[in-house]
């Protein structure tokens, strides 16, 4: 039954569906079913490759036929699994029965009891979910983060020589370069991106309570720990946790969510700075024909993209925080609270995806207002006081800080004329005065 997105409870599947639909392949119910089928089939193939005695005669030429089940996964397969689940009331068991049906069709019914052999549901879930997360991040989220970083690098290069009045505590401060301010975000994002990618995608694979009990009692001569490591680490490309309960302990999963949250916080900081620069008229925004900024005030062009990003980051981070705090905690060998929570992994990623795309869209709308930026520098000559008093310190001039403090904290306006008059009163050499006279708010920007 196809429901209109207009009736979706979550805007992720409604209003923002076109933005987030690329994540459905990895984090939807259909995606989870497909990844479970993938793990079950690859596990059966791995048992054949040992081989178990009862699988020694399995025609390995059939492996590709088995793999085609998940490679060419059909919507009818998803519906079949869900129909089976109505009877089993167990989602992973429904997947097992579905694969057994395919074995019957392929004339492999002799071997079908080795589907899901010795496993518990979490052997499938705790491999399929980290595998889907790995693919979802690498194929969707990572490229979007990199696109944002690349755009910021490009803007930093474009604005490298734009002098900008800095503001500390909201007050005029030592001037900077706009390009350098953008590179602050580039550096922060790149460092956290590296840390995110360094977190292993950990998986649990070891039977009902992590000890390969069923495997060992059936085939005691096989080193099942070595088998599990090879299957998870090499065949699936994940990182098998060596000592677990029924479930993965989720510590690395929590680290991934924490890393994503830190990246979001950097983007949030960027959003707020861009929003503020727009409010200060340092940037204008490109206007698209037909768009309305305000329903009441025709002149307005609101910074809605940065606001949209900020709102979605708030939702994403609240969920990441809950996932990171809840998942590593489970009673004894396992309670069921992780199961329902894990089904929501894609939700914060969807809100993060919306946020990144909104930030990129907002950045691409920016039009530099050099006139306003230059005028703000000209209106704040007091910021060169730091430069003057520092040079006077170098010259051992008596009480330079106090002299500049008295000048700059008067109610009289400070401008190029008052600064020049002050320099003329100083008891220093003409060479030093000449050095001081060339300092302006526009060129007192450090070494960037």
Give the CATH number for residue 418: 1.10.40.30
Token readout for 51 is 């081989």
Active site residue 216: no
Q: How much of the chain, in percent, has pLDDT values that exceed 70?
A: 96
CATH of the domain at 111: 1.10.275.10
3-state secondary structure of 168: strand
Q: Is residue 91 in some structural domain? A: yes
CB 394 within 8 A of CB 56: no
Q: Which of 10, 154, 279, 294 is catalytic?
A: 294
Output the pLDDT for position 293: 56
Output the pLDDT for position 402: 86
User: Could you give the CA distance from residue 123 to residue 246 in angstroms, rounded to a whole number?
Assistant: 8
Q: Residue 211: left (phi > 0), alpha (psi -120 to 50), or beta?
A: alpha
- Closest by alpha carbon to 78, among 16, 130, 141, 36? 36
Does one domain contain both 308 and 333? yes
CB atoms within 10 A of CB 149: 17
Output the pLDDT for position 298: 47
Count of positions (residues) in the chain? 448
Does one domain contain both 48 and 98? yes
pLDDT digits (tens, 9 = 90+) for 186-198: 999 999 999 999 9
**pLDDT grade, residue 112 (50/70/90)?**
very high
User: Could you give the CA distance from residue 26 to residue 382 in angstroms, rounded to a whole number?
Assistant: 56
- What is the domain extent for residue 109? 11-117
User: Could you give the CA distance from residue 132 to residue 112 in angstroms, rounded to a whole number?
Assistant: 25
- What 8-state DSSP symbol labels residue 113? G
Task: Find tokens 């089976």 and name the residue.
Answer: 84
**Domain end call among 58, 83, 117:** 117
Residue 401 has pLDDT above 90, yes or no: no
Does one domain contain both 150 and 264? yes
Residue 1 has pLDDT above 70, yes or no: no
CB atoms within 10 A of CB 249: 19
CB 341 within 8 A of CB 324: no
Q: Which of 169, 221, 295, 299 is catalytic?
A: 169
- Which residues, 6+ apart, have CB-to-CB distance to 355 below 8 Å? 264, 267, 308, 309, 310, 312, 313, 316
Output the pLDDT for position 39: 98
Residue 102 has pLDDT above 50, yes or no: yes
Task: Find tokens 């052997």 and name the residue.
Answer: 123
CB atoms within 10 A of CB 363: 20
Output the pLDDT for position 169: 95
pTM exceeds cut of 0.85: yes
Q: Is residue 1 in some structural domain? A: no
Alpha helices in 60-177 (DSSP H): 63-71, 75-88, 91-105, 121-136, 142-158
Residue 448 has pLDDT above 80, yes or no: no
CATH of the domain at 354: 1.20.200.10
Q: Is residue 426 in some structural domain? A: yes
Task: Find tokens 């989720």 and name the residue.
Answer: 250
Does one domain contain both 147 and 195? yes
Does one domain contain both 24 and 81? yes
Q: What does the radius of gyration of the chain's CA atoms come to, in whole angstroms?
A: 31
Does one domain contain both 420 and 334? no
Does one domain contain both 325 and 357? yes
**Domain end call among 98, 117, 136:** 117
Q: Is residue 230 in some structural domain? A: no
Angle (nearest 5°) at CA 21 between 133 and 89: 65
Does one domain contain both 77 and 175? no
Q: Is residue 144 in some structural domain? A: yes
CB 221 within 8 A of CB 285: no
Phi then psi dihedrals of residue 127, to 5 deg: -115, -40
Q: How many domains does the chain have?
A: 3
Residue 17 has pLDDT above 80, yes or no: yes
Q: Is residue 233 in some structural domain? A: no
The mean pLDDT value for 97-113 works out to 97
pLDDT digits (tens, 9 = 90+) for 130-151: 999 999 999 999 999 999 999 9
Does one domain contain both 92 and 187? no
Does one domain contain both 69 and 158? no
- Closest by alpha carbon to 96, among 40, 30, 165? 40
Q: Is residue 143 in some structural domain? A: yes
CB 377 within 8 A of CB 163: yes
Does one domain contain both 308 and 433? no
The mean pLDDT value for 56-77 works out to 97
Does one domain contain both 344 and 316? yes
**Domain end call among 59, 82, 117:** 117
Active site residue 322: no
Q: Is residue 227 in some structural domain? A: no
Dihedral angle over CA of 359, 377, 169, 365, nearest 10: -10
CB 140 within 8 A of CB 22: yes
Residue 297 has pLDDT above 60, yes or no: no
CB atoms within 10 A of CB 340: 8
User: Could you give the CA distance from residue 72 to residue 66 in angstroms, rounded to a whole number?
Assistant: 10
């Amino acid at each position: 039954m196809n429901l209109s997105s207009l009736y979706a409870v979550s805007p992720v599947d409604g209003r923002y569906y076109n933005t987030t639909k690329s994540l459905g392949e990895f984090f939807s119910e259909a995606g989870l079913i497909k990844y479970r089928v993938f793990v079950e089939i690859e596990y059966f193939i791995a048992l054949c490759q040992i081989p178990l005695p009862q699988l020694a005669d399995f025609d390995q030429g059939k492996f590709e036929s088995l793999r085609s089940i998940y490679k060419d996964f059909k919507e009818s397969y998803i519906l079949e699994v869900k129909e089976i689940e109505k009877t089993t009331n167990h989602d992973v068991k429904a997947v097992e029965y579905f694969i057994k049906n395919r074995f019957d069709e392929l004339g492999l019914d002799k071997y079908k009891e080795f589907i899901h052999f010795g496993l518990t549901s979490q052997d499938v879930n705790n491999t399929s979910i980290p595998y889907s997360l790995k693919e979802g991040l690498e194929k969707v989220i990572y490229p979007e983060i990199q696109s944002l970083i690349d755009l910021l690098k490009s803007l930093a290069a474009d604005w490298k020589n734009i002098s900008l009045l800095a503001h500390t505590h909201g007050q005029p401060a030592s001037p900077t370069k706009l390009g350098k301010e953008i590179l602050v975000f580039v550096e922060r994002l790149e460092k956290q991106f590296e840390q995110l990618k360094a977190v292993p995608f950990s998986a649990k694979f070891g039977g009902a309570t992590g000890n390969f009990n069923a495997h060992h009692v059936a085939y005691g001569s096989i080193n099942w720990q070595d088998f599990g490591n090879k299957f998870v680490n090499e065949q699936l490309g994940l990182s098998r946790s060596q000592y677990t309960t029924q479930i993965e302990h989720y510590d690395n999963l929590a680290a991934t969510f924490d890393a994503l949250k830190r990246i979001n916080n950097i983007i949030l900081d960027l959003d707020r700075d861009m929003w503020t620069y727009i409010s200060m008229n340092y940037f204008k925004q490109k206007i698209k024909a037909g768009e309305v900024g305000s329903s009441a005030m025709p002149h307005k062009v609101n910074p809605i993209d940065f606001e949209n990003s900020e709102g979605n980051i708030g939702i994403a981070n609240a969920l990441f925080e809950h996932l990171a705090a809840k998942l590593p905690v489970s009673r004894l060998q396992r309670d069921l609270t992780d199961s329902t929570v894990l089904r929501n992994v894609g939700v914060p990623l969807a809100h993060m995806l919306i946020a990144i795309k909104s930030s990129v869209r907002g950045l691409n709308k920016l039009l530099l207002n050099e006139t306003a930026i230059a005028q703000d520098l000209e209106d704040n000559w007091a910021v060169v006081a730091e430069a003057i008093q520092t040079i006077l310190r170098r010259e051992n001039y008596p009480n330079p800080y106090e002299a500049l403090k008295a000048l700059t904290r008067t109610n009289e306006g400070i401008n190029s004329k008052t600064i020049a008059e002050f320099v003329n009163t100083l008891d220093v050499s003409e060479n030093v005065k000449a050095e001081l006279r060339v300092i302006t708010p526009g060129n007192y920007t450090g070494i960037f």
